Amino acid sequence: MKRVVIIGGGYAGIYALRELVKNKNIKITLIDKHTYHNLQPEVYDLIANKSNFADVTIDLTTLCLGFNHDHLEFKNLKVRKIDQHKQKIFTEEEEIVEYDYLIMAAGTRTYFPPQIPGLNSADDIKKLHRAITFKQHFESQLFQKIKDEARQCADTHIVVVGAGLSGVEIAAEMAYYSNKFFERGNFSCDNLKISLVSSSSAILPGLKQDLINISQKRLKSLGINIITNTKLQSVEDGYCVLSNGTKIHHSFVIFTGGIEASTISSELDDVERNGRGQLIVNEHLQTEKHQNIFAIGDIAEIKNKDGELMPPNVTIARISGTCAGKNVLKLIDGKPMGVCDPKLDGILIALGGKYAAGDIYGMLTVSGRLAYEIKKYVFSSYRKPLIKLIKKGYNKLRRM
């Protein structure tokens, strides 16, 4: 019986798994250091109290049980080393997992440039536990602010560094949440400020100008201070030092300035990687020297048939995960593999509350409540099937 291992239970790994379970005659092992699949794009809703922990996670144990595959197992392990020649995975828990085919789907992490002093104290909300910690600290400071408002009304200033998709969305959600918080309570101490710092000449670099215009107008209406053409130089005690020579006070610094591949990618010692540590793959999503090792989602450098580099997002995770799952099954069956030619089906940007902006298939720009409802529908269409599976898995677990 062929053994297929997936490292990483994120979007790409789950989509690969959904294909692999169609073959009941292979052994499938899903490995992740976390026990849950983090629905990363929805974490901002968690911070803004629009959802709870259960809404933004999928339990991997019950998910695997829900697939009803006799030879599928989930292992909550942290990978320490991969020996691609002996086809063995070594873990910190000292458990060894063997494979015939390996799918790398461990994703990325926020890149903190070492040349920026003090940046290690910034908040990284890409990781769920760090996002929850930030939420707790922020709400604690809000409480203290209200508690002391009769005596003092100190500024609370959130500085978001990086004005790409993540930076814009978290700034918008935090501003909307804060405005509604003070409005509902009629608190007098409502001097919370949010600054968004972009090293580019505009926010959302690389996106269509009409999306940039809509987003910028929305951010300004929420009271967000947008600083462009400026880099963060250092984070000091209570201040951010910017490249334009100014110092701005901060209560919290959220860094969204870039990503790098999970450190697991470096465990494949003779596999080619790019400058961000992403594994370079061919048109079938295989690594060059090891035809039985695939890489998908954010951990891979994925290009379309025209050689254009694809961005690390949920759409590319879905397409690459599905393609790799199918190709592993074809490889096992001795059939020709398919070519992965990903196409972006658009982009949707959450801009606080029930407001969003989006580009649909490059043909239609939407904004406001309509864009928000489309975004929620897209998320729901992914989450609902997984909820059914984890419910099946939970019921099966209770009968054991």
Ordered by start, the domain boundaries in the chain are: 3-33+77-110+259-344, 119-255
What pLDDT shows up at residue 191?
Answer: 66
CA distances from 74 to 37, 94, 333 (A): 12, 16, 24
Which tokens go with 335?
């059939």
- Residues near 242 by Cβ (< 8 Å), separated by ≥ 6? 197, 227, 230, 231, 232, 233, 248
pLDDT score of 150: 46
* Dist CA 277 CA 299 (whole Å): 8
Single-letter amino acid, residue 335: K
Task: Give me the CATH topology for the region 3-33+77-110+259-344.
Answer: FAD/NAD(P)-binding domain (3.50.50)
Q: What angle do CA 121, 55, 373 make, to 5 degrees?
A: 105
The CATH H-level superfamily of 119-255 is FAD/NAD(P)-binding domain (3.50.50.60)
Residue 321 main-chain phi, psi, to 5 deg: -65, -45
> How far apart, in whole angstroms, are the C-alpha atoms of residue 72 and residue 13?
14
Segment 50-56 long-range contacts (CB within 8 Å, at least 24 positions apart) = 50/173, 50/177, 53/132, 56/128
Q: What is the pLDDT of residue 153?
A: 58
The answer to which of 257-266, 353-362, 367-376 has the lowest mean pLDDT is 257-266
Q: Whose CA is closest to 168, among 126, 133, 212?
A: 212
Are both 3-33+77-110+259-344 and 119-255 of the same fold?
A: yes
Taking only the tens place, the pLDDT of each residue in 141-181 is 767 766 665 455 566 788 999 999 989 999 998 888 888 77
185 pLDDT band, cuts 50/70/90, is: low
| Count of CB atoms situated within 10 Å of the CB of 55 | 12
SS3 218: helix
pLDDT at residue 43 is higher than 80 = no
- pLDDT value of position 119: 86
Report whether pLDDT(300) > 80. Answer: yes
* Cα end-to-end distance, the chain, whole Å: 25
What percent of the chain shows pLDDT beyond 70? 94
Lowest mean pLDDT among 7-11, 99-103, 179-183, 312-316: 179-183
pLDDT digits (tens, 9 = 90+) for 198-238: 999 999 998 899 999 999 999 999 999 999 999 999 999 88
